[in-house]
């Protein structure tokens, strides 16, 4: 990598069939797996991860449009959501029955927003009315409800490294309620409020899941909020606000990363450094929150280095001798 670039991509990209009218593509953040589902699975499901060993291919009955699909840890059980009321399960454990079994959410009139595997046989349903924590018994083809919590939910985020689920609540969506999962237990953590740049009147949903990310930095869990300032604000530039979320105790605003520009951004954490990608300039900013004043409650940070583009890379086009060169990866900007 030349001195003109700080960042480069893996030399082994995960390649898959693009999304189309017959092929749906899903990404599972926990297992780092890409699912390509053709015709609802009837003509094939191809699962690829960062290495070839994690690749899986199979077929399943087409029982409707797939909304979400994820393997449990170790690819032992597959969960598929096709409706807003239930999740289907298929065993991939050797010598276990492969017949599908289904679990409906327990809360009456609730809609399932999604689900998260917290262990190889433990799963959480997130509905618009709360969360339901289940243990899966693959041999009995059944689930047992371990614990549930009623709360109005707009959207959710999941951090697989820490098994923490973050729920957006209230009309404006800026009151966040975290839950942590460990060894078959579900614990409610202290809720906290994200400071919005403008409070709408009348109240409406103002904080989107696209504005929030969770990451472990220097061994601590942080909630990162991409704050787009309003045009009337004294500081029109965007910034990333970091809230420290401890296992016990209250969540507190601890760092502010100054982006010194506006537009669409994407966030990554690499080697404990926060990397902010800026779409229009095709450059990335790097921040190190360890460079701080220990006596300051909220530290303000500038980029540690000038903005630079990601190192150009080539992806061989399958079936062709030529290569395609790209300046930037396919990063989701917000």
| Residue 166, strand partner residues | 157, 178
Would you say the pTM of this structure is higher than 0.75? yes
The pLDDT of residue 293 = 86
Can you spell out the DSSP letters for 284-333? EEEE-TTS--TT-SSEEE--SS--BPPPPEEEEPTT-S-EEEESS-----
The pLDDT of residue 318 = 60
Q: What tens digit of pLDDT does each residue of 14-23 get?
A: 889 999 999 9
Can you spell out the DSSP letters for 182-225? ETTEEEEPPPEE---SS--SS------GGGEEEEEETTEEEEEE
Which domains occur in the chain, in start order?
A: 1-153 (2.130.10.10), 154-303 (2.40.128)
Alpha helix (H) residue ranges in 27-179? none
Name the least confident of 65-69, 293-297, 317-321.
317-321
pLDDT confidence band for 313 (50 / 70 / 90):
confident
Can you spell out the DSSP letters for 9-37? --SS----PPP-SSEEEEEETTTTEEEEE
30: pLDDT strictly greater than 60: yes
Percentages of the chain per state (helix, strand, coil), in multiples of 5 = 5, 45, 50
pLDDT confidence band for 320 (50 / 70 / 90):
very low
């Amino acid at each position: 990598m030349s001195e003109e670039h700080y960042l480069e991509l893996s030399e082994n990209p995960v390649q898959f069939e693009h999304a189309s009218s017959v092929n749906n593509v899903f990404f599972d953040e926990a297992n780092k797996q890409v699912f390509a589902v053709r015709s609802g699975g009837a003509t094939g499901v191809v699962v690829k991860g960062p290495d070839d060993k994690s690749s899986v291919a199979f077929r399943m009955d087409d029982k409707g449009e797939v909304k979400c699909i994820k393997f449990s840890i170790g690819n032992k059980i597959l969960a598929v959501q096709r409706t807003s009321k239930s999740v289907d399960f298929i065993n991939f454990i050797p010598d276990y029955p492969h017949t599908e079994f289904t679990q409906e959410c327990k809360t009456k009139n609730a809609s399932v927003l999604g689900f998260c595997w917290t262990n190889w046989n433990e799963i959480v349903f997130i509905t618009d009315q709360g969360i339901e924590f289940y243990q899966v018994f693959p041999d009995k083809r059944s689930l047992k409800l371990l614990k549930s919590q009623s709360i109005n939910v707009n959207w959710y985020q999941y951090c697989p490294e820490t098994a923490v689920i973050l729920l957006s609540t209230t009309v404006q969506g800026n009151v966040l309620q975290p839950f942590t999962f460990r060894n078959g237990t579900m614990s409610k953590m202290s809720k906290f409020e994200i400071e919005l740049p403008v409070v709408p009147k009348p109240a409406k949903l103002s904080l989107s899941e696209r504005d929030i990310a969770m990451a472990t930095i220097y061994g601590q869990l942080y909630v990162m909020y991409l704050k787009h300032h309003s045009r009337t604000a004294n500081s029109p530039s965007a910034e990333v606000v970091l809230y420290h979320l401890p296992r016990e105790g209250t969540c507190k605003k601890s760092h502010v990363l100054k982006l010194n520009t506006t537009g669409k951004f994407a966030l990554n954490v690499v080697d404990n450094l926060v990397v902010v990608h800026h779409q229009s300039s095709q450059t990335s900013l790097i921040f190190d929150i360890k460079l701080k004043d220990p006596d300051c409650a909220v530290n303000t940070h500038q980029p540690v280095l000038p903005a630079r583009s990601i190192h150009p890379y080539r992806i061989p086009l399958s079936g062709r001798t030529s290569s395609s060169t790209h300046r930037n990866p396919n990063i989701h900007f917000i």
